[in-house]
Chain A
Amino acid sequence: MVTSSFYHPSIAFLMTAAVLPLLPGNRRWKWLLLIAPLAAIYGAFTNQPGDFLTLTWLGQTLKFGHVDRLSLIFAQVFAVMSLAGILYSLHVDDRGQHIAAVLYVAGGFGCVFAGDYLTLFVFWELMSVGSTFLVMLNRTRESVLASFRYFLYHTVGGLFLLGGLLLRYKATGTFDFTAISPAAAQPYDFLILAGFCVNAAVVPLHAWLPDAYPRGTVTGSVFMCAFTTKTAVYVLARAFQGWEILAIAGTVMAVYGVLYASMENNARRILSYHIVSQVGYMVAGIGVGTAIAVNGASAHAYAHILYKGLLFMGAGAVLYAAGTQKLDELGGLAARLPWVMVCYMVAALSISGMPLFNGFVSKNMTIFGAAEAHQTFVAMGLEIAAVGTFVSVGLKLPYFAFWGGKRTDWKRELKPIPRNMYFGMGLLSVLCIAQGVYPALLYNYLPFPEAVHEYAPWTAWHVLQACMILGFSGLAFYAMRRVITPHKALNLDFDWFYRLVGKALYLIVSRPAAWFDGVWTDVWNVLGLRGLMGSAFGSTVFDRHVIDGIVDNTAYGTRGAGRVGALPQNGRLQYYLGLMTVLALGIFALYFYGVL
């Protein structure tokens, strides 16, 4: 899958997945894991726009390499994140986890470069399978159950997409993955949109995310927080730019996510709800649809992947070391895990939009895009979400995980954190700060280069505004720190309805269907079985008297005809000549009388 001007990053990840099970048992195979992300970084930063790698299959043209500025910016951050994620997970000996991760990442790249819906669907499902195993391979009861729920839900989402793309093909005659105008939208377009919205965790289709991500492996959730929702953001940006319903949905997501995050006790569930919230910014930007808003959404996706990966790495490192991710069981760890705390805070300040960190550039660009498009309620909703973000992820989570008003807990046994986990966190920390200090690292790759100068982040007002919002949100947290203290609880979410639907289906199968099955069995025993026996007896009689009779008589007839036919064959030439003469006269007579 390499051409003179295009390298498809998925291929090295797929080859890694194919080779891993075959390698010998020593741990040297782990170094091979780094080849695919390094190759992906090379490809993502050197590929040029164009269409590559088309394949005709069953009368359809599959386009594996549709490259433009939108696909390139997502491919770049996917490549960087894949390297950081694999660095972070190098200590893991379980090959299954690595295979699931690289298959999942391969699916992400495949979606980003897909030029048609069929190709997109194949890689879309590959992601679904890979990520399911990243949850399941945590190998606890709740992880396995969560992985089944996750897979079931994503299968339903995939079926929406499949139904939509097939109906679209029937109507338009093409699988081309192109922009859909909201004015010309058809029901099948809404099916496709629903499929995308499942993966984008659009409220109320989002509850799979905070259900599954906190239950994934420490390293697996780092991958998952980066790829599934951002792939969905990419496909929404490609096909559904300017759909106003997305601007509203994104704003709801942004606020909804922070409200739940403010209640939660589980560190990785807090971060999961913040994925919903932060993806809300991107979905809103896509819905607004102007060049600067879509630039903001793309920049925010880039920044978000880096800082959210780092947040999950930090929370995962605490879980790895302390054995729990529940905030009420943590605290007093800042001095015990100082560099984990520092890296976490870099990510926390990034997601909060603090100056010097990348979220300051991308988040404010998205809000600016909405405000400039006169989407005042959208912009205000995103500002409200910004306050909630800082309160819950920027302050609540690190305060209760690392301090919690407790003295340093020197007695707690902490599992030593492998160096590779620090390397992964260090890489992302550097990038979060580099993009914040030097926004050109983001600006150079935005999908609409003509609009990048509409928003300049580093003005005195923007810096002061960010400091005012965050500083006084911090004061609100200080005032309410006893109210926001987390405690053990499960907060009902829309998965209550999903489970209700599941239970209803189960009841339908187990009660009415089981009753009908029982009745049918009785009917069969009374009527069907007797009928079957009767028909079997009739068949036997028919076989014996009719079939056998025909076969036997055919045999008798053949034998008799053979005997008669053998009579004239006595070897005497004069008999043969006489017989021929009789036959010839007979034929002549028939011809003469007009029979022949």
Chain B
Amino acid sequence: MPDNQEQAGALGRFLAAQLTPERIRTWRIIFFLALAVIALLNLVITNHEPHFGLDRYPFFWPVFGLVVGTVMVFLVKKIVQPLIGRPEDHYGDI
């Protein structure tokens, strides 16, 4: 509805403008560059007090975040939820 678009504030207009394919591509590049910078910094800034053994090596935490996040999503959505998912009104109290 044009009214809603016209009434949007500056922040709303800015956010709406970010949804073009070009801007999305730009944000994606910024995100990947940031990840690369963070990972490379791990070669310079290291953990002097490792608690888990492997965390004394560089790139442990990037790998940890990526692997745990991926495995967790796959596990719950592809294995657990098909087993325990039921229709929303399963208990008949909606």
Contacts and interface: CB of A to CB of B under 8 A. Distances in A.
B61 A388 contact: no
Contact of B93 (A142, A407, A408, A468): A142
Contacts of B2: 410
A273 to B, nearest CB: 11
Contact of A391 (B46, B72, B94): B72
A260 B84 CA distance: 11
A526 interface: no
A474 B69 CA distance: 8
B65 A410 contact: no
Categorize the interface residue count of chain B: 35 or more
B66 A410 contact: no
Contacts of B73: 262, 391, 476-477, 480, 483-484
A334 B16 CA distance: 7
A476 B51 contact: no
A334 B9 CA distance: 12
Interface in A454-507: 460-461, 464-465, 467-480, 483-484, 488-493, 499
Given A263-B77, A376-B52, A411-B1, A489 B87 contact: yes
A387 B64 contact: yes
A61 B2 CA distance: 68
B35 to A, nearest CB: 5
Interface in B26-66: 31, 34-35, 38-39, 41-42, 45-48, 51-52, 61-66
Contact of A472 (B11, B63, B84, B87): B63
A335 B93 contact: no
B31 to A, nearest CB: 7
A547 B6 CA distance: 99
Given A262-B77, A473-B69, A476-B73, A464 B45 contact: yes
B12 A379 contact: no
A339 interface: yes
Given A142-B94, A410-B1, A259 B62 contact: no
Interface in B70-86: 70, 72-78, 80-81, 84-86
Contacts of B69: 387-388, 390-391, 472-473, 475-477, 480
A379 B51 CA distance: 9
A465 B47 CA distance: 9
B31 A468 contact: no
Contact of A468 (B13, B61, B88): B61
B49 to A, nearest CB: 8
A141 interface: yes
A336 interface: yes
A471 B93 contact: no
A508 to B, nearest CB: 20
Contact of B39 (A141, A414, A468, A470): A468
Given A146-B93, A471-B34, A489-B85, A259 B72 contact: yes
Given A476-B65, A484-B77, A371 B93 contact: no
10 contacts: A141-B94, A342-B11, A460-B45, A461-B46, A470-B65, A472-B69, A474-B35, A475-B65, A476-B73, A477-B69
Interface of A: 141-142, 145-146, 258-260, 262-263, 334-336, 338-339, 341-342, 371-372, 376, 379-380, 383-384, 387-388, 390-391, 403, 407-408, 410-411, 414, 460-461, 464-465, 467-480, 483-484, 488-493, 499
Q: 5 shortest A-B CB distances, which residue pairs?
A: A476-B69, A472-B65, A335-B16, A371-B51, A468-B61
